[in-house]
Structure 1
Amino acid sequence: MLPIDPTKKIFFQRWISEGDLVIVYERHTHMTAVKVCGGSVLQNRFGVFEHADWIGKPFGSKVLSNKGGFVYLLAPTPELWTLVLSHRTQILYIADISFVISYLEIVPGCLVLESGTGSESLAASLARALAPYGHVYTFDFHEQRAALAREDFVKTGLSILITVEVRDIQGRGFPENFYGLVDSIFLDLLQPWLAIPSAGKMLKQDGVLCSFSPCIEQVQRSCESLRTIFTDIRTFEVLLRLYEVQEGRREFSGDDDDGSLGSLPCKRSLYSSGRSNGKEKSNAQAVMPRPCSEARGHTGYLTFARLNSCSGR
């Protein structure tokens, strides 16, 4: 059960084969995970796509339907998998995931414990960060969720780097055979303070723990537990603001030279010019970024702590 098997490496296959999982990209708001089967077809608003035509093509290919419509066939990277996976539980998105991997100091060869597995969006990114020699052991108390997660990791080719086990970490703690061997631990639990004492025993000296909680009351109680054996305790909230970039035409005059055009990153071309009230006026085609009308707000709080080397466990 323990790491690390140096013979296990990810094989990044760039050519689509029978049985592969591909992400069918229609537009940035609509993607679908499809398992390639030679005798199957995909039907959508663009027409009928035969899977047999996909086999042998490189990931990223543009393929045509019987009507001349097209989609792109993309590799199931952790980022894309997060966007198409089944939401069995609340999931972490890319902004939180990248922050977690950075602060947990995940590098190739690390041994990482996670509880709970949930919809497995984080585990896929952890596996890529610690490849090719590291390993993720992820635990979930729900047997059906754990079984579905195992199936998904086989589909995405990450099963050699991720082991899914059924265990109630809040009630039983982590398995004792990880004692003092773990580089990093991630907790996504209703009562993370119950698992913190066990997590402290599993970590190497100077190991790092992260706890994800949606409510500040959970954070406060977790910090009280962390203070007994951890140091450098920090809590973050990652808020993401997206911008839409659109082309538009804007009229301006010579008086705009005072810097008011600083909001226009790029003037494309001048279409017309004339005089109005004695001043030059022109229309310019410009690229204008604007905040999206819909933005994902609060997801949760990320609390990080480092094992105190003087804790004595």
Structure 2
Amino acid sequence: MDFGRPMVCNPGVVAKSNIRLVPETYLGDDPLDILVCQASNDAAKDLFLGNDNPSSDSTKKDTSSEPTNDTEKHLSRVDHALYAEHHLPAPRPTIQPGDLVVVFESFNDLNFVYATPNEVFSNRNGHFPHHDFISKPYGCKIRSKNNNGLGFLYLLRPTPELWARSLPHRTQIVHELDASMIVHYLNLIPNMVVCESGTGSGAMSHVILRSIAPKGKLHTYEFNKIRADKARVEFQGHGLGHLVEVHHRDVCGKKALLNMNQQESNQPAASDETETDEIKDKDSADDGKGGFQLGESAAHAIFLDLPEPWLAVKHAAFTLKTSGRICSYSPCMEQTQRTVVALKQYGFHSIQTVEARLKEYFVDEVEMEAPPTVLPAIPTEETATLEKERHVAGGVLPKEDSEVNSDIENAENKLQPGAKKRKLCARPFSQMRGHTAFLTFATAGGSMPRIPDKSSM
């Protein structure tokens, strides 16, 4: 994906200038040449180091053939090679072999392909060879090779939102409205370190990666090895391998909890044959103790999408930086309640739970009667009195009041609706897509130790 392109390093103006510190004997042993080198080094220090190390403070003059200690001290800081320009390369304007392409078939029907020569994408609209995709710009319209070219589709550049609508669902995904709220309330910005558990289908992972690119790092954890391996392959295929590291690990440490509970009940520890399927699906890299294994205060934000997130809160408190943000995504209020209790226990504050639903509207032209364009004037006291007399008299007014009667009739005629016209109207969809999701946000505090309990180790 374009947002995940690694940064490139090109020499900039400073690097091309070749400015650097040199030994004072660089030009020779002549005293005048040595003074020239000293002046050049002082100018380089002023240019690169600013007011932190002004050359005027340097009074020591070393005329030896070896570089001075001051030169050695600052040589690495003013070396021109360190002043290269880091920037993102320009996005490729056309589709190349191996690129991910989102296929737009209809408003509610999206698919995806990896552009591969000699392969064909087929749907109810026809057959579309991949070689027709290659070298075409994103957003173009492709005609089918059969059905007289009547079938067509659009080739779209992948985004996290489009990928979430077309990806193969391995688990329930986080929809775009919840995803946008998570990014906002976690205060995600470029170059952050973020932890996510669990990975699932990877929809939320792509949203996080877009927010922390181009030099951030996402550590995503999945207890199911098959899902972890598939997610790792997808990230590499999308050009995101340098931004994400997939861990096959249960951050909750259920295996350690199970063994501890069995020891308390004087039962033998769980063996590989007696473990549940969820706990048995582990490799040698997972010691079963839980946690993120990144060290203390290593992450800026943590996102939990787990059945029992309260078990991972103590590990999150250890891994988060002070004032780092955490989010827990739960479909049930009972899960949210237990998570909030754990958050308070481990020193989190500013706890907030929100629920958001997306209500979409269908906009179309509708034929309807136009409203009156001219409204009657507000009746005066005399007109209102005559109107009452007319009702009492059966709708007839004296001849001397015919002019007032005519004015009333004209006003009523003006209220008649006009001819039917087509108007642009909006009406809500009968269904709101999505499922109940409670998002709990909190901030890590620094007022109490945030080291996991010994029981979890």
TM-score scaled by length of structure 2: 0.61
> What residue number does 1:263 align with?
none
Which residue pairs with 2:174 in the alignment?
92
- Cross-structure match for 1:273: none
1:141 aligned residue: 223
Deviation at 1:255, TM superposition (A): 6.5
**Greater CA drift, 149-158 or 238-247:** 149-158
Change (3 A) 1:10 1:293: farther
Query: Which structure has the larger Rg?
Result: 2
Give runs of ≥4 in structure 1 deviating > 6 Å.
5-10, 255-258
The answer to whether the aligner puts 1:169 opposite 2:286 as a matched pair is no
What is the CA-CA distance between 1:81 and the residue it aligns to?
0.5
Separation (CA, whole Å) in 2 of partners of 1:174 and 1:146: 17
Which residue number corresponds to residue 16 of structure 1?
95
Task: For structure 1, list consecutive stretches of 5 or more residues without a partner in the other structure.
Answer: 259-275
* Aligned residues of 2:8 and 2:88 also touching (Cα < 8 A): no
Tell me the C-alpha RMSD between the 2 structures.
Answer: 2.2
**1:249 matched to 2:367:** yes
Q: Which of 191, 202, 209 does residue 319 from structure 2 map onto?
A: 202
State the 1:133 CA deviation: 0.6
Aligned length: 292
Residues 95 and 238, structure 1, Cα contact 8 Å, conserved in 2: yes
User: Match of 2:307?
Assistant: 190
Counterpart residue number, 1:272: none
Distance 1:76 1:297, change over 3 A: closer
| Residue 200 of structure 2 corresponds to residue 118 of structure 1 | yes
Structure showing the higher helix proportion among its residues = 2
Greater strand share, 1 or 2? 1
Contact 2:7 2:88 in 1 (8 A): no
Cα-to-partner distance string for 1:259-305 (whole Å, 9 max, x where unaligned): xxxxxxxxxxxxxxxxx967351222111110101212543100000
Q: Residues 79, 72 of structure 1: CA spacing in aligned structure 2 closer, same or farther, 3 A cutoff?
A: same
Work out whether 1:180 is the aligned partner of 2:291: no
Q: Which residue of 2 aligns with 1:230?
A: 348
Aligned-pair identity in percent equals 39
Q: Which runs of 5+ in 2 are unaligned?
A: 1-5, 10-86, 254-288, 377-411, 451-457
Preserved CA contact (<8 Å) 1:76 1:156: no
Cα pair 2:369 2:418 within 8 Å, conserved: yes
Larger mean Cα displacement after TM superposition, 148-157 or 187-196 = 148-157
Letter in 2 for 1:71: L
**1:120 to 1:10, Cα distance in 2 relative to 1, 3 A:** farther
Match of 1:271 in 2: none
Paired position in structure 1 for 2:357: 239
AA at the equivalent of 1:306:
T
What SS is found at the alignment partner of 1:206? strand
2:127 aligned with 1:45: no
Of 180-189 and 150-159, more deviation after overlay is shown by 150-159
Quick one: structure 1 residues 144 and 20, their matched pair in 2 at CA, closer, same or farther if it must change by over 3 Å?
A: same
8 Å CA contact 1:251–1:281 kept in 2: the answer is yes
Distance 1:188 1:10 in 2: 31
Q: Which amino acid aligns with 1:109?
A: N
Distance 1:179 1:169 in 2: 15
The Cα shift of 1:37 comes to: 1.4
User: Relative to structure 1, is the Cα distance of residues 232 and 256 closer, same or farther in structure 2, using a 3 angstrom cutoff?
Assistant: farther
Assess if the C-alpha contact under 8 Å between 1:10 and 1:158 holds in 2.
no
Match of residue 285 from structure 1: 422
Partners of 2:316 and 2:417 lie apart in 1 by 69
Structure 1 length as normaliser, TM-score?
Answer: 0.87
